[in-house]
Amino acid sequence: MDEKFVSRQNLNFLLFEVFETDKLSHHEYFSEFNKDTLDMVLRTSYIMAERMMRPYLREMDKNPPVYKDGEVHVNPAVKEFIRKCGEIGFIAAPFPAEDGGQQLPRTIVNACNYMFSAANYSLSVYPGLTSGAANLILNFASKELKDYYLPKMFSGEWQGTMALTEPDAGSSLSDVKTKAIRTEEGFFKIKGQKIFISAGTHDAVDNVIHLMLARIEGAPAGVKGISLFVVPKLRGDGRGGLEPNDLFCGGIEHKLGYRGSPITQLHIGENGECRGWLVGEENLGLTYMFRMMNEERINVGIGATGIASAAYYDSLKYATERKQGRLPGNKNPESPQCGIIEHTDIKRMLLFQRAVTEGSLSLALQVSYYLDQMNICGTEEKERYDLLTEFLTPIVKSYPSEKGILSTSAGVQILGGYGLCEDFNLELYYRDARIHPIHEGTTGIQGQDILGRKATMKKGAALKLFIREITLCIDEAKNYPELSSYADKLSDALDLFIKTSESLFILASQGKTEEFLSDATLYLEMAGTIAIAWQWLLQGITAVKGLEKNDELFFINFYSAKIHTMKYFFRYELPAVETLAKILTDGGHLTTGVSADIFID
Amino acid sequence: MDEKFVSRQNLNFLLFEVFETDKLSHHEYFSEFNKDTLDMVLRTSYIMAERMMRPYLREMDKNPPVYKDGEVHVNPAVKEFIRKCGEIGFIAAPFPAEDGGQQLPRTIVNACNYMFSAANYSLSVYPGLTSGAANLILNFASKELKDYYLPKMFSGEWQGTMALTEPDAGSSLSDVKTKAIRTEEGFFKIKGQKIFISAGTHDAVDNVIHLMLARIEGAPAGVKGISLFVVPKLRGDGRGGLEPNDLFCGGIEHKLGYRGSPITQLHIGENGECRGWLVGEENLGLTYMFRMMNEERINVGIGATGIASAAYYDSLKYATERKQGRLPGNKNPESPQCGIIEHTDIKRMLLFQRAVTEGSLSLALQVSYYLDQMNICGTEEKERYDLLTEFLTPIVKSYPSEKGILSTSAGVQILGGYGLCEDFNLELYYRDARIHPIHEGTTGIQGQDILGRKATMKKGAALKLFIREITLCIDEAKNYPELSSYADKLSDALDLFIKTSESLFILASQGKTEEFLSDATLYLEMAGTIAIAWQWLLQGITAVKGLEKNDELFFINFYSAKIHTMKYFFRYELPAVETLAKILTDGGHLTTGVSADIFID
């Protein structure tokens, strides 16, 4: 039970030294909390992660949910965990008190989500999905729907889902075909099919509430004709009970990882008896969904970071204990073998894992910080934080998703042959991590989002704010002699990013949309690398300040290691931006204006 | 059954246009073969791959070998395939006719290995392991041992293994502890434990012949005290029969991928009754093993390439059939969705997969070409080819192993959610591919090998030959206007590689061994990227020549696509060498002289 999957010291450093989350309590909105109560929330979550989640990691992977006759049977740990989340108010934690929430800062909620993901990613998603679905109801549904659904969702008795994907509408949500037929009884009749719906039905809850996209008969084609509905698995029978709502789970997917959570296929209204209730206005479904999508995407990034974190600590433990080989220069075969952590290549891989994990976590908390600020600041600042969140969301989602695969893979590599064996968890993390670049919008979609939408929105306002935030950090770092050369490196990288962006915008202004967006994924990678470098410089500043204030050996070591990991990032990861800039601006487009025939052989 | 897993057209291109393998038959050693017979070998192997291997891919993954009471039960397809390989002479194919082999060119053998790996990697390893073990017996054992063991190994009745790894001796083979105790009866008594032994025992064969490293009592410590033994599972009973040899399989590993082949734990001589026969001279075991290791490492690279190939064709098929989304600029939501292969990001990922697969295959065949030349050339040339093989082996092993993971992952990404589902093979390839950077020497070990040994051996002779081969290719490419700018790019990259090497050698000459080798893995990546660029330029030259000679539409398309993929590699992959050079030469070593304490938090 003493396996480490997160560093609470690192969380404290980020939350209370870098982002000073406790200072939020000076503001009325967060005045219910102080450092002690926030600590208590974190401690409770950690204990839940350790005791209610971690022990079921391998078991839930080994015995994934079982589908039988329309129902999905999950591990009993699922029910226990969801109910506990309900009981302590975690499902409603970030929501306003007036809506039944706790007004807990997002920074803290997301720190808890990180611990949960690291402990057992499959298990962590159940309450998260309910929160996301509840958030849609809370923001856009009628009082009646809110009053009916939210209490049971907040208590963990009812599961929430996001029911978007269909066989012909995955990345292209504008092609959603599920039909909604108007009735005169205040509800719609829903008919269609959904696939890949996480937790679409299971026996750890009494009901499942789908927040479902469908097209009202006669609605315009495309994105402008999609509406959002609440479609429960069981609907109220008007007598305080529940009755079936003609919603049938046809099966679950057997999959590489993330096996503890069922991904379901749903048949909706096969007997013409499925009722759905409109959320908000007609035809605005996708708008609502995308207003909430940012949070889901941030959650994916945090999930990926959590898995990378658990992988890091497992491989660190192995590297500390395993003896193998001798250092170069030691030619005495009779000398004892050294710990593999002494080998430079192992250290490099561990530093990579750490740099990815802690850099990604920092960025996720940075955005969480903006979300918290939006609850306590004025209108103008709010717009600023909103734009920053918009710009950063595809990065927060994709950087840990993509690099998380590589850093988890580095963890496998550290264990050598054991990394592939089920006796260790690395192979499980490696499988679990693979979903993140896919769900809630693939990395390709995120690339289109950041370059095609976010970088250009409001005349580049979001991009400019991103640049300004980094510039402020660079300016501050220059005040510290040990950081100034790193500040310069980031400054150079940022200049290159600006130049690269400008050169791409020229293509856009020439109407060469396809060329403009053709390597958007690489643009996203470039922006991501710079964003993480920024977060490392930020951590570097805090660490330097920490060193000035502390003379305890533990803290001296901790802050020094932070600076060392920052240096790792700047030496080994940041230089990739030059390559990316080169590719993005060299002009020789190879993926536009070329027929798919080239792949015939 | 019409699922494509390799391109026979591409194999023909590489074998008969780029490397002109059929010209080998002009030489006496290979005079038994001509273009027609080589074609027949390839066709037979393809049919075997398609009919005897491919259909069992998912089944063997789903139902991995079962361990019971010391025996391992494998899929019946294993026996059928091994015996067929024996029957057609494939296990002995590359060996001299005087030793019972076929003298088949390595280029052809490895082309067949590639098809087998692509069809079903787990199944492909059984005969390959026997070949490797037989090769050791053939080269270093006494006539008596050869006569006794080789016929049954060549026929596929007996399995061969390489029994190296022990619980405390994985990457560090010098720490092998298995004991060999001299007797007066011509054999040694062996006692010890081996782990991670592929195909260490199973019921598809009548016997298993381990080529085992052990230490003779009283031998010097370290690499200089390790000897090589033949240790059969069942030994001759002196009456023409077989009897147990006190060699017990204690279990098998449950693992991420490569599940169709058992990885076993062996307990050797627990009752003091295990007999082993010395191969060659005492204390030269590791030397023998490493003489053969190159071929095993090349096989790993080919295996990785095979998996990447199958993944490429599966994702290409999906991308061709799947409709999703519309191209940027098409704002009509009622227009039909386009094939995802039309999206630039999908094309980029497919080109990446293709560039990795075909580039890696080309390099493996390049080395196979050198091996073939060594059978027909004079002494001086032989040394040249030998040095080139030495230098290239760590690249042939590691490049497809490392990039194969990424390209298989790109294949998963192309399928989106379906990439994770067991209904498609991508998730299986993704799992199977992960072993390659680990077995037969990790990527870290390969890095140490190329920089610490190969680049510096014989005063840099191997490195110089590598540079010379590339320079010759660059010079030839300059004759073709459409290739000259690519020749220049490779020339620049090569210069950078030379400068980087020189700057590292200065560290070595200053005795800074640990700093010199600290980023050897990145040096390997740099060398690998350049080697693959070279192979693409070589293919580009052949394609340009092909275009001059052909006016059939199919071939025009094929050659044009080759050139397009070459351009992809130069645009998207080659620029990484600049980043790598920067990291390798920037001097700020972060993994040497730093305590492992930095990881405590």
Could you tell me if B251 lies within 8 Å of chain A, comparing CB atoms?
no
List the single best residue of A406, A485, A579 to mutate versus B (max B Cβ within 10 A).
A579
User: Do A166 and A192 meet the contact criterion of CB atoms below 8 Å apart?
Assistant: yes
Digit-coded pLDDT (tens) for A126-170: 999 999 999 999 999 999 999 999 999 999 999 999 999 999 999
Would the ipTM clear 0.90, i.e. be above it? yes
Residues in chain B: 601
The separation between the first and the last C-alpha atoms of chain B, rounded to the nearest angstrom, is: 54
| Whole-number Å distance between alpha carbons of A184 and A194 | 25
Our CA-based measurement puts residue A490 at a distance from the nearest CA of chain B, in whole angstroms, of 15
Residues of B in contact with A342 (CB under 8 A): 596
Say if B30 is an interface residue toward chain A (CB within 8 Å).
no
pLDDT digit string, tens, across residues B290-319: 888 889 999 999 999 999 999 999 999 999
**Model pLDDT, residue A430:** 98
Q: What is the pLDDT of residues B80-98, one digit of tens each?
A: 999 999 999 999 999 999 9
pLDDT of residue A1: 42
Which of A258, A328, A430 lies nearest to residue B434, judging by beta carbons? A430
What's the pLDDT at A588?
85
Question: What is the distance in angstroms between the Cα of B124 and the nearest Cα belonging to chain A?
Answer: 19
**Closest CB from B224, B345, B434 relative to A412:** B434
Q: Is B579–A583 a contact, with Cβ atoms under 8 angstroms apart?
A: no
Sequence-distant contacts of A328-336: CB under 8 A, at least 24 apart: A328/B452, A328/B513, A328/B514, A328/B516, A328/B517, A329/B513, A329/B514, A333/B174, A333/B175, A333/B221, A333/B222, A333/B223, A333/B224, A334/B221, A334/B222
Residue B2's pLDDT band, with cuts at 50, 70 and 90, is low
Sign of CA dihedral B264, B270, B271, B276: positive
- When pLDDT is averaged across residues A286-304 and rounded to a whole number, the result is 94
Encoded tokens for A158: 């009812």
Task: Tell me the residue length of chain A.
Answer: 601
Q: Among B170, B447, B597, whose Cβ lies nearest the Cβ of A416?
A: B170
Q: In this predicted structure, what is the pLDDT of residue A489?
A: 98
Residues of B with Cβ-Cβ distance to A520 under 8 angstroms: 345
A600 to chain B, any CB pair closer than 8 A? The answer is yes
Q: Is the pLDDT of residue B588 over 90?
A: no
The reply to whether A14 touches chain B by the CB within 8 Å rule is no
179-198 of B, contacting A, C-beta below 8 A:
195-196
Average model confidence (pLDDT) across chain A: 97
Residue A529 and residue A576 in contact, taking contact as beta carbons nearer than 8 Å: yes
Tell me if B328 and A517 make a contact (CB, 8 A cut-off).
Answer: yes
In this model, does residue A74 exceed pLDDT 60? yes
CB B437 within 8 A of CB B443: yes
Q: Specify burial of residue A284 (Cβ count, 10 A radius: 0-12, 13-18, 19+).
A: middle
Decide if A507 contacts A515 (C-beta within 8 A): yes
Question: Mean pLDDT score of chain B, rounded to an integer?
Answer: 97
Query: Which residues of chain B lie closer than 8 angstroms to A582, CB-CB?
Result: 575, 578
DSSP per residue, B392-456: HHHHHHHHHHHHHHHHHHHHHHHHGGGGGBTTSSHHHHHHHGGGTTTTTS-HHHHHHIIIIIITT
Nearest C-alpha neighbor of B500 from the set B440, B579, B556, B561: B579
A335 lies within 8 A of chain B by CB: no
Q: Does residue A76 belong to the interface with chain B, where contact is any CB pair within 8 Å?
A: no
Residue A8 sits at the chain B interface (C-beta within 8 Å)? no
- According to the model, what pLDDT value does residue B262 have? 97
- Interface contact A31, partner B, CB < 8 A: no
Residue B380 has pLDDT above 70, yes or no: yes
Kindly determine whether residue A430 and residue B256, on different chains, have CB atoms separated by under 8 Å.
Answer: yes
Picking from A533-537, A593-597, B407-411, B507-511, which range would have the lowest pLDDT averaged per residue? Answer: A593-597
What is the least distance, in Å, from the CA of A577 to any CA of chain B? 9
Distance from CA of A175 to the nearest CA of B (A): 8
- Residues of A serving a catalytic function are 440
Q: What is the spatial distance between Cα A182 and Cα A553, in angstroms, rounded to a whole number?
A: 69
Residue for token pair 């670049």: A437
What is the structure's pLDDT at A498? 98
Nearest residue on chain A to B11, judged by CA atoms? A601
Model confidence at B1, pLDDT cuts 50, 70, 90, reads: very low
pLDDT tier, B329 (very low <50, low <70, confident <90, very high otherwise)? confident
pLDDT for A331 equals 86
CB contact under 8 A, B320 and A599: yes
If one compares A187 and B293, the residue with the highest pLDDT of the two is: A187
Give me the residues of B, 404-443, that contact A with CB < 8 A: 405, 409, 412-413, 416-417, 419-423, 427, 430-431, 434-435, 437-439, 442-443
Asked if the Cβ–Cβ distance from A413 to B442 is below 8 Å, we say yes
What tens digit of pLDDT does each residue of B17-68 get? 999 999 999 999 999 999 999 999 999 999 999 999 999 999 999 999 999 9
| Rg value, chain A, Cα | 25
Residue B375 Rama label (left phi>0; alpha psi -120 to 50; beta): alpha
State residue A2's pLDDT score. Answer: 59
pLDDT greater than 60 at residue B337: yes
pLDDT, one tens digit per residue, over A201-240 is 999 999 999 999 999 999 999 999 999 999 999 999 999 9
Among B402, B440, B469, B573, the active-site one is B440
User: What's residue A3's pLDDT?
Assistant: 87
What is the per-residue burial (b if ≥16 Cβ within 10 Å, else e) of A460-489? Answer: bbbbebbbebbeebbeebeebeebeebbeb
Q: Say if the Cβ atoms of B518 and A348 lie within 8 Å.
A: yes
For residue A242, the Cα-to-chain-centroid distance in whole angstroms is 34
Distance from the Cα of B214 to chain A's closest Cα (Å) equals 15
B326 contacts A172? CB cut-off 8 A: yes
Residues A356-380: what's their mean pLDDT? 97
pTM assigned to the model? 0.98
User: Which residues of chain A are within 8 Å of residue B597 when distances are taken between CB atoms?
Assistant: 557, 561
Whether B592 shows a pLDDT value over 60: the answer reads: yes
- Taking the C-alpha atoms of residue B567 and residue B532, their distance in angstroms, rounded to an integer, is 12
Taking residues A42-64, report their average pLDDT. Answer: 98
Q: Is any Cβ of chain B less than 8 angstroms from the Cβ of A79?
A: no
Q: Which among B438, B519, B578 is the nearest to A578, CB-wise?
A: B578
pLDDT of residue B292: 84
A518-557 residues touching B, CB cutoff 8 A: 518-521, 557
3-class secondary-structure state, position B277: strand
Token duo for residue B197: 């032994």
CA nearest B447 in A: which residue?
A345
Contact predicate A438/A256, CB 8 Å: no
In total, the C-beta contacts within 8 angstroms joining chain A to chain B are: 281
8 A C-beta contact, residue B366 and residue B392: yes
Question: Which residue of B170, B254, B560 is in closest CB contact with A417?
Answer: B170
